[in-house]
Amino acid sequence: MKTKGESIEQIGELVEKLSARFSEEDIDEQKWMRDQCSPEAQQVLATITVQALHLIARIPDDAGESVNIVGISRATGVPKGTVSKIVQRLVDGGAVVRHRREGNRKEVHLRLTEVGEEIQRAHRSLHEQMGDGLATLLMRYSESDLAVITRVLSDLLRMPREGVRFRPDLLN
């Protein structure tokens, strides 16, 4: 029988492994996305990271809407400098264009190109495919189990930090 400390240690290890699993490049996922895209989009896909795909997901696909680097940074929690570097690669690759909004010549906004929209659709479709498996897995658990999982994940996401240290004592 495990002690509470051993269980906590195991959960920490599992969260770390889970995080690595969902953030690593996956050959099957890459192939699946390439198969959904035109040759032009495939060329861009070959040059971008998973993090870049998640930033593309935050750029509106409606031609009338746009977002700036600060907005993407806030939405994703990725530092502005990192977003800026990734966006430059996406611009160079032809997935994103920069533009200025009428009446606001200061702020630079971002919009997806046709290639960017194609990549975004393929990425969304990939997540739908992956989500189907997750939903099937979670159906195995009771409502009370799911409530505990939801609570733990929500607490993990909102847990404040002080420097590099997480502060669960500051959760309300």
31-50 confidence digits (pLDDT tens): 888 999 999 999 999 999 88
* Euclidean distance between CA atoms 2 and 119, whole angstroms: 46
Name the band, by pLDDT with cuts 50, 70 and 90, for residue 63: low
Architecture of domain 4-140: Orthogonal Bundle (1.10)
141-154 confidence digits (pLDDT tens): 999 999 999 999 89
Phi, psi of 111 (to 5 degrees): -145, 145
* Euclidean distance between CA atoms 3 and 93, whole angstroms: 52
93-125 confidence digits (pLDDT tens): 999 998 887 777 777 889 999 999 999 999 999
* Cα–Cα–Cα angle for 69, 114, 95, rounded to 5 degrees: 40
* Euclidean distance between CA atoms 91 and 108, whole angstroms: 13
Mean pLDDT of all residues belonging to the chain: 88
* Euclidean distance between CA atoms 169 and 160, whole angstroms: 9
Q: How many CB atoms lie within 10 A of CB 68?
A: 18
Domain limits, the chain: 4-140
Q: Do 41 and 120 touch, CB atoms closer than 8 A?
A: no
* Residue 89: both structure tokens together: 């690669």
Q: Helix, strand, or coil here: 49?
A: coil
Enclosing H/E stretch for 38: none
Most confident range (mean pLDDT) of 15-19, 37-41, 63-67, 166-170 is: 37-41
Q: Do 171 and 158 touch, CB atoms closer than 8 A?
A: yes
